[in-house]
Structures are given as structure tokens and as C-alpha cells.
Amino acid sequence: MSEDNQIDEIHPTKRAVAPGIEKILYKAIPVLDHGFVRVVDYMGDDSAIVQAARVSYGKGTKQTNQDRGLIQYLMRHRHTTPFEMCDIKFHIKLPIFIARQWIRHRTASVNEYSARYSIMANEFYIPRPEDMAMQSKSNKQGRDNILSAAESEKLLHLLTEDAGRCYNHYQEMINEDIHGNIVNDDNPSLARELARMNLTLNFYTEWYWKINLHNLFHFLALRADPHAQYEIRVYAEAMLNIVKEWVPFAYEAFMEYKVNAASFSGNGVKAIKAMLNGEKVTAETSGMSKREWLEFIATLEIDQS
């Protein structure tokens, strides 16, 4: 049965369910131009986190406010194991170059669409003009100012033209259409596992990605960050909204103690204590490197002008 057909199926269950995520289960949430994020299964909810923690801390109370407080305590004090009791499985469609960046998070189970076995679809990612930016001069893996309309149009044309030409040659090499039918009986058919090398990195792939909540939070802390690459950040933001529906207490604690929080080095803590005591602290007296000092004053929004 396909995921689309499962949407309307009703399956009685005795397991704990999260009403928020049940509303979006199996539904594709659009991302980029052809991508999506879809939840296909999950296990556990906020109560599973609390239940696991109370194995250690004792039965205690089950009042909602105290459950919320316990989850905040666990997040605040980095007690990560209870969050590992929740799992979620996504079906994700994403550009290959983002998949190669994404796979560096080695704490998930992944099964990707096989271009050795199946034929790749003629779908590739083309950025919006407002996302076409120059290479940053200060950050080797970042972007700088947006290109002009004329420059953007020229480069978008190249991206589209190159991807289209590569796919046409790919189809010519495998000698098959998208349904696997032979196009020309007189031509040889190159093995799919070889022909796929001709496709550009902006073509879309798909995978199933299963991960526990603790490791998902780690992924989201890095990839939903404003400094993350835009194309992976929009996937992380979509998943963050899913987490909000799935485990609202855990989401609230994550936002409070991870996303909207800040950490400081030992020298940073000393500097803050000195400032609170009315002492003047400078880059030279802080004990920090120039880069750490700049990050420190940016975090505290201190005006150094």
C-alpha cells in the first residue's frame, strides 16, 4: 500500500499517539522547488520521555506542568538518554548535493533511492533568483551579496541548460524512457550504474531517514541555524515544525535551552562576571582570541563602537 493510500486508512492501536503529528502523518510538506519532507512513522511522544526519565527518578507525579518541567530539566542538564526513547522516520526528497552534506550526520538509519536499480527522474533543483549569491570572501563555505538580476538570469540559464543536457545524454546512454521501456532496439544500453555519473548534483534523490529525537535535535541545532546553507536549512525548518507538533514540551525545551540559548568558554564566563561587577573588559584583557571575542560581544550584543 502506498503512503498516499495510508492517509485515509484507520488503524486501531494501543500504543501512545501524538495527536499533532497524526494530522500530518504521510502528508508531503513541500520544500524547495521539487522536494518534500513526509513523516511515515514515529514512536513515542512527550510522555515517553518522561516515562523513561522516571525509571531513574522514581514514579513521581504525572501532572502536565510537572512533565513539562521535567523535560526542561532534562534538556537543561543534558540528560539525553530519555530523548532517545522517541524515534521518527521521514521520507525525504532532496537535491543530491544536499544529501551528500546531510549524510555527514551519521546517527540515523538511511536507505536511499538506487540509481543502479531504478531510472532517475528528470527533476533538478534550480535556485530562486534571490538565492543566487556571490562567494563570501571571509567564509569559504558561505555566500555574500546577491547577484544582480542580469547576472542571476545568465547563471540560472546555465544551470538549467546543463542539467537538461546531462539528463538527455543520460537517457540516451541507458536507452530507456522513465518507465524502463527500450527507446531504440538498435542502440546499446549502458548500465544504469554507469550512466548515472553523467547527472549533475542538483538532481533530486529520495531516501528514508530514521533517527531518535536526541540526535534529531543535534541535526536541527546545526542545520536550522541561520548560518547553515539555505537549501538544507529549509528542510531543517520544516522538520522543526514537525517536531513542534509531535513533542511540544520537548520542542519548547529545545528552543529555550539550545536554539535560543548561548554557551560561553571559561574566559567568557569570567568576562561576564567581571562586567556584572562593573569592571571594564576588553579584547586584550579577556583572554580570548580575536575571533572568540568578536563572537562573544556579538552574542551579548555589546556595542564596541
Domain assignment present for residue 88? The answer is yes
271 shares a domain with 251: no
Same domain, yes or no: 244 and 273 = no
Residues 58 and 113 in one domain: yes
Domain with residue 30: its CATH number is: 3.30.1360.170
Burial of 180: CB neighbours in 10 Å, binned 0-12, 13-18, 19+: exposed
* Residue 147, in any domain of the structure: no
Domain assignment of residue 170, yes or no? no
Residues 239, 281 within the same domain:
no
Q: What is the pLDDT of residue 1?
A: 43
pLDDT of 190 reads 95
Does residue 223 carry a catalytic annotation? yes
* Region 70-86 average pLDDT: 95
Do residue 231 and residue 287 come from a single domain? no
Task: Give the range of the structural domain holding residue 281, as residue numbers without chain letter.
Answer: 266-299
In the predicted structure, residue 233 carries a pLDDT above the cut 60: yes
Residue at 113 is within a domain: yes
Supply the angle between the helices 46-57 and 64-76 in degrees, to the nearest 10: 80
Residue 248 has pLDDT above 80, yes or no: yes
Question: Tens digit of pLDDT for each residue in 116-131?
Answer: 989 999 999 999 999 9
Mean pLDDT of the chain: 91
Supply the pLDDT for residue 303.
78
Q: Note whether 237 and 280 are same-domain residues.
A: no
Are 234 and 280 members of one domain?
no
Burial of 204 (0-12, 13-18, 19+ CB in 10 A): buried
Average pLDDT over residues 78-107: 96
> Helices (H) and strands (E) in the chain — how many of each?
12, 7
How far the first Cα of the chain sits from its last, in Å, is 63
Q: Looking at the predicted structure, is the pLDDT value of residue 301 above 80? A: yes
Domain count, the chain: 2
Residue 196 covered by a domain: no
Query: What's the pTM value of the predicted model, to 2 decimals?
Result: 0.89
Of 38, 192, 196, 223, which residue is the catalytic one? Answer: 223
